[in-house]
Amino acid sequence: MSTTAADRGREARRRLLAAAAELIAERGWAAVSTRMLAERAGVAPGVVHYHFASVQALLSEAALAVMHDLIEQAGAGLAHARTPGEALGLMMEFLAAYDGRDPTSLLFAEAYLAAGRDEDLRRSLGGVVAEFRRALAGRLAEHQVPAPDATAAVIAAAIDGIMLHRALGPGPDAADLTAVLRRLVAPTEPRPSTKEQ
Amino acid sequence: MSTTAADRGREARRRLLAAAAELIAERGWAAVSTRMLAERAGVAPGVVHYHFASVQALLSEAALAVMHDLIEQAGAGLAHARTPGEALGLMMEFLAAYDGRDPTSLLFAEAYLAAGRDEDLRRSLGGVVAEFRRALAGRLAEHQVPAPDATAAVIAAAIDGIMLHRALGPGPDAADLTAVLRRLVAPTEPRPSTKEQ
DNA sequence: GCTAGATTTGGGCGATCGCCCAATACGAAC
DNA sequence: GTTCGTATTGGGCGATCGCCCAAATCTAGC
């Protein structure tokens, strides 16, 4: 039951990372300040620069942690699918929880932009996207989808773009979008019947 | 040859809008300041709040002007295409000029995010995207592409996503991506032959 | 109890922020 | 030349910024 100083320190660090993830989405990357982070995390302002070299470093670490977790989670769900079409359906279902204006979606977008002005962050983030593309391309190749790399890149891009556009207002139903995306992975065209879902 | 006060005023306003478009891309929306804008435009700091109600208002007006011009330009090129596949090719060619890290791409991304925190901007920007989707869906419908609205939305989203991902590092060739996207608009499946690029 | 080392505190530093405004400059109308 | 109206100047206002640091506070080990 004893809480050592190191334990409390780790907890403070953890709370600061969580606060950073929230505030990036709420206020925007450049608008997150030292005192804002400290207040949200329930610590004194000085603690921020005790645990992190700079506010930038804190924001980067927080964003990367969230993104990596989510990509891994999505990838795990993908493994259950038996066909690429099914995998697409699962992914779109997974994405239904994010409307482009929720904290997670905004965190992604903010991180994308911040990466353009921070070389280290850009490299790390590029690695996350590349990893997702590679995993997806592997699944596609297993099912004889032609041009798996390019197809995976387009799907990954479409997903991010769909999230971006959702933030701006209503668009077509997710089910309709999924049906369109399925054209990308249909191994053989099943001759479009007169009626379809 | 006379330059009235009103003429000089209009010129100062124009220069401020141009400076805003540059600085949004360079520094990020939230990091653009009054004095930064004034210096870039070659005017005194006070001029900014003489011509614009706030820095936010200046940034929004500048971003919307650039985006509207570019969408219109892309749409004009689209009118020359004779098939949806050709139109896609033209659009991807048009997009080749933007690698996701150039000022125009960054301006788009910054505006998307800023829109999430400014209701007026969000509405205006949503209108721009909707207008593009509508124009594209119209062209698709003319050529019997199924589900033209959803297809247009996916294409628009894929384009923005591709630009976003390009900023993070190299991906598949544009030509390969275009070939994949063409699957979305193929009116009838030409029975995939043994070889295809 | 006492020391050693890690963590927290809370305010200070100079710089910068958005916005404002009284004073000034300057061409147009008379 | 005088008046009038618009545009510009340049500094001031209080607030906030990132980062720093000496002092205070804690727990573990002796």
Chain A: closest CA distance from residue B14 (Å):
26
Cα–Cα distance measured from residue A3 to residue B115, given in angstroms and rounded to the nearest whole number: 44
Across chain B, which distance is largest between two alpha carbons, in Å? 71
Cβ within 8 Å, pair A177-B150? yes
Mean pLDDT of A190-194: 47
Closest CA to A195 of B120, B147, B113: B147
| Residues A115, A119, A125, A126, CA torsion sign | positive
A45 strand D contact, CB < 7 Å: yes
Cα–Cα distance measured from residue B13 to residue B11, given in angstroms and rounded to the nearest whole number: 5
Q: What is the pLDDT of residues B34-92, one digit of tens each?
A: 999 999 999 999 999 999 999 999 999 999 999 999 988 888 888 888 888 888 898 88
pTM of the model: 0.82
Alpha carbon separation from A172 to A55, A166, A185, B38, B156 (Å, rounded): 39, 10, 20, 42, 12
B46 strand C contact, CB < 7 Å: yes
Spatial neighbors of A155 by CB under 8 A, at least 6 apart, are A88, A136, A181, A184, A185
Q: Where are the domains of chain A?
A: 55-185
Cα–Cα distance measured from residue A118 to residue A56, given in angstroms and rounded to the nearest whole number: 9
**Two tokens at A84?**
């690429």
Give the A:B interface size as CB pairs under 8 Å. 157
Indicate the DSSP class of residue B117: T
A112, A125, A151, A154: best to mutate for the B interface, most B CBs within 10 A: A154
Predicted confidence at residue A196, as pLDDT, reads 43
Q: Which residue of B has its CA nearest to A190?
A: B189
**Two tokens at A80?**
């259950």
Tokens 């933030």 label which residue? A167
Q: Which residue of B has its CA nearest to A194?
A: B146
A76 strand C contact, CB < 7 Å: no
Tokens 């995998």 label which residue? A87
Residue A50 CA, distance from chain mean position: 28
The secondary structure of A11-56 as a DSSP string is HHHHHHHHHHHHHHHHH-GGG--HHHHHHHHTS-HHHHHHHSS-HH
* Reported confidence tier of residue B8, pLDDT bands at 50, 70, 90: confident
Cα–Cα distance measured from residue B186 to residue A174, given in angstroms and rounded to the nearest whole number: 21
* Reported confidence tier of residue B5, pLDDT bands at 50, 70, 90: low
Chain B: closest CA distance from residue A24 (Å):
11
Alpha carbon separation from B49 to B4, B63, B65, B103 (Å, rounded): 21, 18, 19, 25
Q: Is the CB of residue A105 less than 8 Å from the CB of residue A167? A: yes
CATH superfamily entry for domain B55-185: Tetracycline Repressor, domain 2 (1.10.357.10)
Res A148 pLDDT > 70? yes
**Two tokens at A70?**
């989510």
* Reported confidence tier of residue A195, pLDDT bands at 50, 70, 90: very low
Q: Is the CB of residue B108 less than 8 Å from the CB of residue B125? A: no
Predicted confidence at residue B194, as pLDDT, reads 45
Cα–Cα distance measured from residue B107 to residue B120, given in angstroms and rounded to the nearest whole number: 17
Cα–Cα distance measured from residue A36 to residue A23, given in angstroms and rounded to the nearest whole number: 8
Burial A153-173 (b: 16+ CB within 10 A, else e): bbbbbbbbbbbbbbbbeebbe
* Reported confidence tier of residue A100, pLDDT bands at 50, 70, 90: confident
φ, ψ for residue B39 (rounded to 5)? -65, -45
Cβ neighbourhood burial of A186 (10 Å; 0-12, 13-18, 19+): middle
